[in-house]
Amino acid sequence: MMDFMQDKLVPIAYKLDQNRYISAIKAGFFGAMSILILGSLFLLVANLPIPGYPELMASILGENWTTYFMVPYQMTMDIMTPFVMVGMAKSLAVSYKVDDVAAIIMSLVGFLILTPTIINADGASGIPTGSLSASGLFLGMMTAVLATEILNFVVKKGWVIKMPDSVPSNVARSFASLIPGLFIMITFNVIRVLFSLTGYGTAQAFIFELLQRPLLALGATLPAMLIILLFEAILWSFGIHGSNIVGGVMNPIWLSLTAENAEAFAAGDMLPNIINAQFYGNFVKLGGAGGTIGLALAALFFAKSTQFKTLGKLALGPAIFNINEPLTFGIPIVLNPVMMIPFIITPLVNATLTFFLMDWGIVALTNGTNIPWTTPPIFSGLLISGWSGALWQVAQIGISFAIYYPFFKVVDTKAYMTETQSVEEQKEAATNVPGANA
């Protein structure tokens, strides 16, 4: 079975990991993640679930005190699409070796051409922030790809204005972008006009209804989550960074679901989604991919072999911050048929139990706060799901330990026997040295 997966799955995973479009998606979200996290923290400050907190803040800052914290949230999470597009366009442009600044600017221009505008009763026009939020995310991603592809095509064809060498480079770059920019603007304006003639009215409405909404509905289901986790764990088991590959595909969906929860949380409405980025990052992967925090505790407190005692001391600190490479490659879990079993099972159990506990109302749904993935368990549960989330993470640590412990004892016993045999062989060799007993 391992040979089969090695032959069939690993080559596919490598191709996915090296795919320039998936790499661009990862780059876009990694680039925007810092401001999305910060914006979410402002949302959390405005809605801390502490009795008496709103009254205290109102007495200090006035009745409209939440607006002081909601504006940073609205200017980050509520308009996340352009920020993601910047990283995507830059990554694609670098892979094609074309002007990344031009790619970023032209992508944003194309997106704004396709974005619907609104006009109020006084004649003032503008762009609704909802079109720049997660609702426009898929359109923004597709726009960044198409605009950069057009830029690359035109440049490779040589259809650019070339200035003499005496012209400053920044001026020459501006003129070199004119013809590619013209192609891009004409293309997106034609797309805008064509969609205005349909029942959808805009490209954004079309993409959202026919692509984004079905993908969100699928991504929010437990079966889809379990399949993704199974695929991720198998990739990790063969030494491939499964989280990166899964994240490149699923982050747009999960972050959109997170944004929906954040909007509902800010408005005081019922949270719509059980599964989202926080569910995956903070209730499934405690201690890192594979939910290995229980394995770190087993190695620290119950190892008999010297090698695993030492590894436990080294691995617990990173595991608290959801970093598990010391365990993944130190035990190792990679290409280890014994340890692959709990590594695959644990996240599936975490996801299934958490889903049903949230569905039954025992654990609160995540509030849409984008906390860093390195936030330690228990504290992360408190921030995104309140006390019920923190208590459930305590239970999850125990479940992780219970799943990993019997498998860990197998490899630990083997390592201990090897160490003991090695010591005995060394003693025997020492006693057999001529003159050793003189």
pLDDT in tens, 89-145: 999 999 999 999 999 999 999 999 999 888 877 777 888 888 898 888 999 999 999
- Does residue 205 carry a pLDDT above 70? yes
Among 323, 324, 296, smallest CA distance to 312 is for 296
Half-sphere exposure of 63 (CA within 13 A, CB side): 0
How many angstroms separate the most distant Cα atoms in the chain?
A: 108
Per-residue confidence (pLDDT) for residue 1, from 0 to 100: 62
Helices (H), 268-378: 277-278, 293-302, 306-320, 325-330, 337-359
Element (H or E) spanning 125, and its range? strand 125-126
Per-residue confidence (pLDDT) for residue 228, from 0 to 100: 92
Instruction: Write out the DSSP string of 210-271.
Output: IIIHHHHHHHTSHHHHHHHHHHHHHHHHTTS-HHHHHHHHHHHHHHHHHHHHHHHHHHTPPP
Among 333, 232, 228, 234, smallest CA distance to 6 is for 234
User: Percentage of residues in the chain with pLDDT exceeding 70?
Assistant: 92
The whole-number average pLDDT for the span 255-266 is: 90
8 A C-beta contact, residue 144 and residue 107: yes
Most confidently predicted of 152-156, 330-334, 429-433: 152-156
What's the pLDDT tens digit per position in 178-188?
999 999 999 99
Per-residue confidence (pLDDT) for residue 257, from 0 to 100: 92
Greater confidence (18 vs 279) lies with: 279
Q: Which of helix, strand or coil describes residue 436?
A: coil
- Does residue 431 carry a pLDDT above 60? yes
What's the pLDDT tens digit per position in 70-93?
889 889 888 999 999 999 999 999
Instruction: Write out the DSSP string of 257-269.
Output: HHHHHHHHHHHTP
Alpha carbon distance, N-terminus to C-terminus of the chain = 57
**Angstrom distance (rounded) from CA 237 to CA 319:** 18
**Domain ranges in the chain?**
76-218, 256-431
- Does residue 374 carry a pLDDT above 90? no
Give 438's pLDDT tier (boundaries 50, 70, 90).
very low
What's the pLDDT tens digit per position in 376-410?
999 999 999 999 999 999 999 999 999 999 999 99
Per-residue confidence (pLDDT) for residue 129, from 0 to 100: 83
8 A C-beta contact, residue 436 and residue 430: yes
- Does residue 430 carry a pLDDT above 70? no
CA distances to 50, 405, 406 from 420, in Å: 55, 22, 21
What mean pLDDT value characterizes the chain? 87
